[in-house]
Amino acid sequence: MSLTLPPLPYALDALEPYISRRTLSAHHGNHHAAYVEKTRVLTQRTPLESAPLEEVVHASAPRNSALFNAAAQAWNHTFYWNSLRPDGGGEAQGPMRELIEECFGSQRAFSQQFVTTASDQFGSGWVWLVLDAGRLRIMATSNADTPLVTPVLLPLLTLDVWEHAYYLDYQHRRLEYIAAFLAHLVNWDFANRALAAAGKSAARGTLERDPQLDRGHRK
Ligand code: FE2
């Protein structure tokens, strides 16, 4: 079983006009592909050669920074593609809606905090909506850092705020990219599925992430 680049969960032009075919093609086909390939090369002929990508991320943090950066970026990008969908965005539905209202007070307050966190992130990184001890929290990570390696955190959504994610479409206007994500692209179904998995695993005293995410990396 070798590490492979999972296909996008939608067509290259499916997120237009908010994220262009040109951006998705370069982001998935060049950037994400390069992280997967680097992870594959760095794990060749090592005990991690056939390990699930999540395990490679955990095993490489924090000491093997070259492998961690590649593997975490490979994992983060797959999570990002799943955090987006055509005709997404707007107000959350289902259990996520209730939890957002409980934890942030309102959808509007959630959006405002997300925009502030995403626009304040200095340099390259990621903005996450995570479940932390049953409560929602918005957090940012720098470069390849990921909440995946923090045992108590369960990622529910992410937004890539590296410039390569938006520069072709928005140039320096990160705020417009963040607004487009919230209004038109957020995949609330994905967040609801992650939340449901967390609910089931909490009853067993474990923290479970969507296994489909990792299965996609091995063929
Ligand atoms: Fe990216």
Q: What is the pLDDT of residues 41-68, one digit of tens each?
A: 999 999 999 999 999 999 999 899 999 9
Distance CA 171, CA 96 (A): 32
Domain boundaries, the chain: 21-82, 94-207
By the 8 A CB rule, do 75 and 146 touch?
yes
The model's pTM: 0.93
CATH class entry, domain 21-82:
mainly alpha
| C-alpha 161 to ligand 1 mean position (Å) | 7
- Given a cut of 90, whether residue 205 has pLDDT beyond it is no
| C-alpha 125 to ligand 1 mean position (Å) | 9
| C-alpha 163 to ligand 1 mean position (Å) | 8
Q: What is the pLDDT of residues 67-90, one digit of tens each?
A: 999 999 999 999 999 999 999 999
21-82 and 94-207 agree in CATH topology: no
Q: What pLDDT score does 56 carry?
A: 97
| C-alpha 36 to ligand 1 mean position (Å) | 12
Distance CA 219, CA 144 (A): 24
- Given a cut of 80, whether residue 204 has pLDDT beyond it is no
| C-alpha 5 to ligand 1 mean position (Å) | 14
Q: What is the pLDDT of residues 145-171, one digit of tens each?
A: 999 999 899 999 999 999 999 999 999
Q: What is the DSSP letter of 149?
A: G
State whether CATH 3.55.40.20 applies to domain 94-207: yes
| C-alpha 102 to ligand 1 mean position (Å) | 31
pLDDT confidence tier of residue 199, bands split at 50, 70 and 90: confident
DSSP character string of 151-165: TTEEEEEEEE-SGGG
Q: What is the pLDDT of residues 109-131, one digit of tens each?
A: 999 999 999 999 999 999 999 99
| C-alpha 203 to ligand 1 mean position (Å) | 34
| C-alpha 165 to ligand 1 mean position (Å) | 5
| C-alpha 52 to ligand 1 mean position (Å) | 21
| C-alpha 218 to ligand 1 mean position (Å) | 20
